Each structure stands twice: as C-alpha cells, then as structure tokens.
Amino acid sequence: MRYLLGCTFFFALGMHIMVAQLSLPKIFTNNMVLQRDTAIHIWGKGIPNTALEVQFGSETISTTVRHDTTWNILFKGRKANAKPQTIQIKNEQQKIILTNILIGDLWLCIGQSNMEWPMEKEMHFNAEVKNANQPSLRFYNPNYAGKDIYNESFSDSVLSLLNTKNFYKGNWAVSDSNSVKQMSAVGYYFGKEILEKEHIPIGLINMAIGGAPIEAFVSNKAMESDPKFIQKLKGNWLNNQELPVWVRERGQQNVGNIPVLYQDALGPNHAFKPGFAYTAGIEPMLQMPIKGILWYQGESNAQEPERVNEYGELQKLMIEDYRNNWKQPKLPFYWVQLSTIDTAHYNSKFWPEFRNVQRKLLDEVKHGGMAVTSDIGAKDDVHPTNKKDVGERLGRWALNFTYRRKVIPSGPLPKEATYKNGRVIVDFKYSTKGLKTSDNNYVKGFSLNGKTESHAILNGSSVEIPSRTKPKFVYYSWQSYTDANLVNSEGLPTSTFKIPLR
C-alpha cells in the first residue's frame, strides 16, 4: 500500500509538472535581438486551454493555449533600442524570464564552411579581438550534430541528435573576446560594419554547416514543386546521382554502413541530406521576422558540370521560397561569389563557370547582391582566411540597398561588350572614378577565347582589347586561380565574367 501511495504521489507530481510546462522555441534565449519596426512575434507551447500572459517591458498581453498546445503573442513593432529589456511568460504554475533583450536588425548567416569559418582562425583575429567587446552585437551560433567529423561513422551520441528537434543546439551571446572566437568571421565583420554605420543593435544567426550542399538548405516542398529538381528527392539520398558526388561520399562515411535512429523515405538523416538543414534550422524560425540573409556556399556544388549548370536556378528557387515562407517578398539576400584556388590542390576546374553563374544571378534576383572575393583566394586552400574583406563587402551591399546609404556596393560589373574599329570595348558599372589595376601594373585577366591572355587597355569606365576579328565572347578572370587585377577607384575587384559581344 505504501508503494502504491508513493507511486500515486509521484504520478500526481509528474502530472503537476507536465501541466505547468511552458516552452519557447530554442532561439528564444537571454541576450537575443528582436527585429525592429515590425510586429514582434513570441510563440511557444503549453497545456491546452490554460491561460498565460506575456510581459514585454511595460506591455502585457494575455492569451489562452490552443487545443493543439500552441500559443502566439504579437506585440506592436518597436524602434531600435540598445537598452536591455526583459520578457516574462507565465501561467499559474510556471514563469519563464528572458533578460538582456535588444531591438535591432536580425541577419541570418547560412552556407557551408567558409561562412562557418570561425573568428579564431581568421587572418585578422589577433588584431580584431581587442575590438570584440560590442554590447549591441549579438550572436546565435549553435553547434550542430556531426560537426568536424570526417572519414568515419558517427557515434551513437551523434546519431541520437540527428533529428530536426535536436540537430542544432545553442544560445544567444553578447559579442566579447571569448564568444567571438567560434562565431562566423564573415558574419562578425558584416555585423560590426552595419553596427558602426547604423548605430543599432545587430543580431547574427549562424546556421552554416561545413560541407553542406545548397540542397540541404532548400525545402523539400520547394524542390518537389519544381520539375527540374524533383528528382533530387527520389530514393535514398546517399545513392541519388542528382546530388553532388562528394556530398554523398561524406554521407556514406558518416551514416552509410551503420544502423541509424532517424531516417525516412529519403534515407538516413544527416546535415547534407536534401532539405534537412532547412527543416532543422530555417523552418523553426519562419515566424520570427528578420532583416535579411547572407549566403556563402557553392564549393560542394561546383565540382561537376551538371551541378554547376543547375545552380543558378536552384539558388533562385531557394531565395523565392525563403521570401514566400517568411512573408517578406523583398527580403534582402546577399551572397558571396566563390574565390579562386589552383586545380592542383582542389577539383576547381569548373569554378570560373560557377562564379559566372553566381554573377548572372545579379540580373535575375531583385533585392540581392554579390560580394566578389577572387582577389583574396588562397592558391592551395579552399578556406581563404581573410574573411574581414568578405564581411565588409557584404556590408557594402546592405548599406547601399537595405540601409540606403551612399556606399559603392561592388567592384566593376560588366554592362556590355561591343566590337568597333578593331577593338572589343567592355563597359562597366560601379567603376566609380575610373578603372585601375590593384597592383598599378598592366591589366591582367582578359581573354577572347577563355584560354589565352589578351592585351587590354584602360579607358575611364571601359576596357579596350585590340582584335582583328569580332570574337563571340569576352572573358575575365576565367581561371580557377587568377591574378586578374582590375578594380575600381575604391579598390574593389571585378567579378569573373563571360559575356557575348553585341
């Protein structure tokens, strides 16, 4: 009888705890930044039909948990505010308190290892770390299951986390000399640039995954709706030839020959699985307004011509899907063009074409921009360590297009190429006060056949190339690793391009 009474007591106690349980999405933690100038959405779960109230500063809103266990609160939009605030959610049995909350702009950082690349490995870290104490710069920088595990099977502890609920794990942190070490270096320098120019709190959400293909960040629903990409969702992804070869090889190493806990019709869960990063990381945030997205990805999709040729359409599909799902049709989306690397050290023979695909997206994606990095690539390393220039170049696009400041967003971009009087003439936009070379030497990087260097002459905002006949195309920086040196008067580099002659 005593045993039964004890069981009854603990059963009742367990029920009491369960009934009292409130929960918030994982991204709601102390130190977070909420998006300014738009309705502030706070949501979570609780016991159906129970009352709760949410207090945010001096404002309090009451609601009742729905039958499906969900609840939602909308506060009116607020101006940017660097003064720490508190959010309190409570019912009769439980209270959740979030402290040190700021109102500002939220930027999502996604992509693969060059976006993930941490500050402590960045070229300028030792000089920059003394500037890292920035109370208005905040990071949500979660770890993810399987990070940095190569050429081996995942352990049971990793496999237990390969589900969309537990894949990412982290908390918001205030930028300081310690928290900045593992933060995306590209994200940090971008955020610092915006903070210094706009003087508003900046929150950076880093969901990048080393090695991940673009397919991991595109929703399955979007790919299913497009006949060009539906085949990416047929059968076990580890054997699907519509996905990058290297990505499938890594997947086989990690989960290909072991019993896994979590899988479905597409095969075992993994960070590289189509749609998985989207479902685990992006989808849970869709109810939270953001300011914009930074994207640095492509290396995993640039090693086979089939993947290169489809990439532009796949990135456009992703952008459109994100904008639709966030209900922000003009959501800024800024991406990084791949840098350069020698083919002797990396399978990069298709990188010139890939960079050109990324460039052409500038004409097809509204409210978008691209940071050129071909001048800071590493000859023998797929991870160039100068992320300061990358973040600041992304910042230029945001400052110009999003924040409406008079900032030149880009280096020279080709407008058109014509043939006249024995010369190919290439006109550029963003030449500012005129074109020049980065090393004050003769112009390097132009070709009329994609192979042989052509003599080129600077003429204001144009480049002229002598040619006896009219070529079909003019090329620039059309090598995997390039010493092309054309810049504008602000020192910003020219994008790789291949354009037809008019």
DSSP 101-166: EEEEEEEEEEESHHHH-BGGGSTTHHHHGGG--EEEEEEE--EETTTT--SSPPPHHHHTT-STTT
Position 447 scores a pLDDT of 98
Give the length of the chain. 502
Position 345 scores a pLDDT of 83
Number of Cβ within a 10 Å radius of residue 304:
15
Position 494 scores a pLDDT of 98
Are the C-beta atoms of 412 and 428 separated by less than 8 Å? yes
The single-letter DSSP state of residue 9 is H
What residues have CB less than 8 Å from 210, skipping those under 6 apart?
112, 113, 116, 147, 148
Position 123 scores a pLDDT of 98
For residue 315, which of 298, 338, 292, 290 has the smallest C-alpha distance? 298
Pairing of strands 172-175, 168-169: unpaired
The single-letter DSSP state of residue 55 is E
The two tokens of residue 501 are 């002659």
Please report how the helices 185-198 and 388-397 are oriented relative to each other, as an axis angle in degrees rounded to 10.
50
Residue with tokens 């921009």: 369
Are the C-beta atoms of 258 and 252 separated by less than 8 Å? no
Position 16 scores a pLDDT of 36
pTM reported for the whole predicted model: 0.95
Position 20 scores a pLDDT of 46
Q: How many Cα atoms occupy the beta-carbon half-sphere of 363 within 13 Å?
A: 9
Could you tell me how far CA 4 lies from the centroid of its own chain? Answer: 55
In whole angstroms, give the CA distance from residue 438 to residue 313. Answer: 33
In whole angstroms, give the CA distance from residue 120 to residue 160. Answer: 29
Q: Which domains does the chain have, with CATH numbers?
A: 19-102 (2.60.40.10), 106-402 (3.40.50.1110), 413-500 (2.60.40)
Task: List beta partners, residue 427.
Answer: 416, 462
Regions of the chain short of the pLDDT cut 50: 1-20
In whole angstroms, give the CA distance from residue 355 to residue 350. Answer: 9
Position 198 scores a pLDDT of 98
Number of Cβ within a 10 Å radius of residue 149:
15
In whole angstroms, give the CA distance from residue 173 to residue 100. Answer: 10
The single-letter DSSP state of residue 216 is G
Position 13 scores a pLDDT of 36
Pairing of strands 95-111, 81-90: antiparallel
